[in-house]
Amino acid sequence: MSARRKTAFAVAVALLVGVPPFLPPYPLTLVTQILIFAVFAMSLDLLLGYTGLASLGHAAYFGVAAYVVGILVTRNQASFWTCLGAAVLAATAVAAIFGLVAIRATGVYFLMITLALGMVVWGLAFRWVSLTMGDNGISGIARPSLGGISLAGPLAFHYLSLAVFLVAFALLSVVVRSPFGLSLQGIRETERRMRALGYDVWLHKYLAFVLAGAFAGLAGALWAYYDGFVSPVEVHLITSVETLLMVALGGPGTLLGPILGAAVIVLFKNLLSIYTKRWLLILGLVYIGVIVLTPRGILGAVRGAQK
């Protein structure tokens, strides 16, 4: 990240810390949504942008973590740290199992396998009524308390979401800048050459798949607390596609791009839908325009204009 981008990011974080106390409840909830989906989009970008693997089943790990939180909170009144740890662990385990199947495929076959695996999870969420409550979902998920401080209010939960977002961003920054992350970019560009140089391409892709699932689980756990409700929608194809759009729209292969894409999609989804039922059409037109004019997303267009 250049000095200019570091400065812009620091200013954005300062605004996220200082401005929310003065925001009305609805705009504050939108900012919180953006932070949660930014973590989700960054997790997918580790696959799509850095490894070159486009997944249509990424919502499975997001939803599994959300369901774990919902079940533990409503049935066992488990603590925040217990729920968070169990949710991330469950999402990681599912990603580890699914990765053994998916990583062996490439191109459109990988896309179709991840789609099929994601639909398996959706089917379980829809049909396993005794555990997931089926299409009725799990409601009444109370927000946690930390150190005796209730996070039920919009402002307190916003700061929790911001803290999780910053931790996720820092960890992912370390991953993508490490030798492992550079190897992933090499695999994305020329997989055959990396294999010829002696890299275990399958293992690198598998580890990226599992890590992406873990961070998606982190976002899913936070979303369950935010929404207070979990249903099969969380693991549906639509959720995976929306996240894929966030990455592609903002700019794959960067961490800032998915954050920008998450902000655009969340704002379009919540604000345009107030004024028109055809907000999906407008969003689609915006997405097509960005892809046609700049295949590297909005951030890619900004970078091109600066050169």
How long, in residues, is the chain? 307
Residue 216: predicted pLDDT: 96
Residue 59: predicted pLDDT: 94
Q: Where exactly are the structural domains of the chain?
A: 28-237
DSSP string, 192-236: HHHHHTT--HHHHHHHHHHHHHHHHHHHHHHHHHHHSEE-GGGGS
Residue 191: predicted pLDDT: 83
pLDDT tens digit sequence for 17-33:
888 888 888 899 999 99
Phi then psi for residue 197, to 5 deg, are -80, -5
Residue 300: predicted pLDDT: 66
Rounded Cα distance between 249 and 260, Å, is 8
Low-confidence ranges of the chain (pLDDT < 50): none
Write out the two tokens for 191: 């997989």
User: 189 with 239: CB under 8 angstroms?
Assistant: no
Residue type for position 204: H
Residue 18: predicted pLDDT: 87
Phi then psi for residue 236, to 5 deg, are -75, 160
pLDDT tens digit sequence for 274-298:
777 777 777 777 777 777 777 677 7
- pTM for the model: 0.92
- Residue with tokens 């979902």, as numbered in its chain: 137
